[in-house]
Amino acid sequence: DGSVLKQRRIQALPYLEEHDNRITPPQVVTTEERQLNSRLFHVRDRNSVLNFLVDTGAALSIIPKNKTKLGRETSSVTLHTANMTKIATFGQKTLTLDLGFRRQFPWVFTVADLDLAILGMDFLG
């Protein structure tokens, strides 16, 4: 099936880290969808074990509502996709990301009715 996702590991930085008395290079995951011939870039947070899509076209960084323990009450903020579809939000949540670099990154994420976590331009900029 051409839509099967394939994961590849690539070395993120040239330095090595020590884990459990072994030295391993930090790694990030890319996902390739062969059917569309596109490549999507994901990073994994070691603290929350969430995979984040790195999306330079997204204005905000998002975590899915189903990955949090926030209530069901929607926020007054509504997001819109590129085709103007509305996305409900449920407030904000602070996470400290461990992406395998030398430091961790505390960040305030918008909680939204999406299936995937996104690192947007607010984080990347």
| Strand 51-54 relative to strand 105-112, pairing | unpaired
pLDDT band at 20 (very low <50, low <70, confident <90, very high): low
Tokens 């011939």, residue? 37
Question: Is the C-alpha dihedral spanning 56, 45, 81, 5 positive or negative?
Answer: positive
Q: What are the structural domains of the chain?
A: 5-124 (2.40.70.10)
In sequence order, the β-bridge partners of residue 96 are 106
Helix (H) or strand (E) holding 122, with range, is helix 121-124
Largest CA distance in the chain: 50
Q: 10-24, 74-88, 100-114 — which is least confidently predicted? A: 10-24
Q: Which residue has the higher pLDDT, 81 or 119?
A: 119
Pull the structure tokens for residue 6.
Answer: 């394939």
Global pTM value: 0.67
**pLDDT at residue 99 in the model:** 92
Q: Any idea which of 30-39, 62-71, 92-101 has the lowest mean pLDDT?
A: 30-39
Amino acid found at 98: D
pLDDT at 14 over 80: no
Q: In what order do the strands lie in the sheet with 5-11?
A: 5-11, 27-33, 38-44, 51-54, 117-119, 62-64, 105-112, 86-97, 78-80
Give tens-digit pLDDT for 52-94. 999 998 999 999 999 888 767 778 888 888 888 899 999 899 9
